[in-house]
Amino acid sequence: MSALPPISTHDASRRAFLRRSSLLSMAAGAAPWALTLSAMGDAAAQTADDYKALVCVFLQGGNDNWNTLVPYDSTHHALYQGLRSNIAFTREALAGSVLTPAGGSTDGRAFALAPNLGTGLLPLFQQGRMAVLHNVGTLVQPTTREQYMARSVPLPPKLFSHNDQQSYWQASAAEGATTGWGGRMGDLFMSANSTSTFTCINVTGNAVYLSGNTAIPYQVTPSGAVPVNGIKNRLFGSADASQVLRQFMTQGSSHWLANEHARVAQRSIEAGERITAALAGNPAPVTFPTSNRLADQLALVARLISARGSLGTKRQVFFVSLGGFDTHDSQLGAHATLMTNLGNALAAFYRATEALGVASQVTTFTATDFGRTLVSNNDGTDHGWGSSQFVIGGAVKGGSFVGAAPLPANNGPDDVGRGRLLPSVSVEQYAATLGRWFGISATDLPLVLPRLGNFGSADLGFMQI
């Protein structure tokens, strides 16, 4: 038998493009910069009869955990204040935002939220709707301070680098990763949604977090779907001209590349129109704060959740963000404003889920590049590692702290220098606990989090599973 002729480079490229573009055509209105042409992979489909949503709130720039969750008992507050006296909160300033765990303190430690943050979030903690996780961060495997100093175990790439640590948080890989664990969760549940396009929705711009092997993030703005202006609004003042533009963008072609472009455009336009129609009948269920970028994004998420019936969704993963956390200087004023916006936006969003009757079906959680140094610089802080995180929702075992509270000490047992915390809880464990609540089986979690097996527990116990 004669050998088959080799596949030409053109044919191979064409087949690869067609295989991937068939996915992109399902991505509908995702803007080109939001699409990740990731390698195709197999994922076990999960079924879902109820509705659940995960909402990732990413704090871009590296949030200062020491001025977010502040040591309050006199012993540890004195240590904290001694190492950052120029930006530390006094105990008097913190007195109105002290967190009282439902079961009381077991180790004599006490914590308070930053005063501007406590206005929004203290009631949620005290009502059992918010849990606080201590010292979460990027790890390859459990790591001791001694192992870190000796570099005797693998470490996340380029620690303290914004781009790489954002990527490692979102994807378990350095910058350049093609899939994130939010998107990989979406892979498992796409078939549960009658319209898979709306499984992973990004309201803030490009992020690897929502890119899956098959799931592709659908990108919107706080105002809704991203329109083709010449179609949404009359082109040159003419409805006929708009119709011609639509026909031009979506008509088939004998050229494979042009034909696939038309398929993507058609799905994009139709999905945008469907989102617009669904949102028209679903205003924000509560009043959200004004002049608050995060609140604007979360208000749109609430409206999309309200429209879940018409959009045909059973499982959704959302991504929103708030920037400005790279506080190397002028931290006192800048961080206080960020805390106000964060607390008020999260509180309003939780009230919205209550108003929609889905508070126990929606879980919101924070993430960030990294924490910041306990030791301050002139009037700010520098890049750190582990940080405290918040999880909010009706299914959260709230009013509680999760993980070991770090010691506020320079070069102490919990840090690797200047108060950079060595994480005691990995992002994988954090994500796995959320994933189990979302409905992912224990056997399928490694599809989402390949390094999960390096860590002892896949359930940190802060969710009602």
What is the reported pLDDT for 191?
93
Q: Is the pLDDT score of 435 beyond 70?
A: yes
Q: Is residue 355 assigned to a domain?
A: yes
Q: How far is CA 106 from CA 101, 280, 366, in A?
A: 10, 50, 25
Q: In this structure, is residue 1 part of a structural domain? A: no
What CA–CA distance (Å, rounded) separates 216 from 26? 8
pLDDT in tens, 5-56: 333 334 443 443 343 334 433 333 333 223 333 333 344 567 778 999 999 9
CB 54 within 8 A of CB 438: yes
Residue 266 in domain? no
Please indicate, yes or no, if residue 274 is contained in any of the structural domains: no
Q: Taking the CA of residue 251 as centre, how many other CA atoms within 13 Å lie in the half-sphere pointing to its CB?
A: 8
Is 460 in contact with 435 (CB distance < 8 Å)? no
Find the domain containing 186 and state its range.
33-226+285-454
Instruction: For residue 57, tell me if it sits in a domain.
Output: yes
234-250: pLDDT as tens digits: 667 677 666 766 666 77
Encode pLDDT of 43-94 as tens digits. 456 777 899 999 999 999 999 999 999 999 999 999 999 999 999 999 999 9
Is residue 136 one of the residues assigned to a domain? yes
CATH number at residue 448: 3.40.720
- Would 291 be classed as within a structural domain? yes
CA 442 to chain centre: 21
pLDDT, one tens digit per residue, over 88-146 is: 999 999 999 999 998 887 788 999 999 999 999 999 999 999 999 999 999 999 999 99
Instruction: Count structural domains, the chain.
Output: 1
Asked if the structure places residue 330 within a domain, the reply is: yes
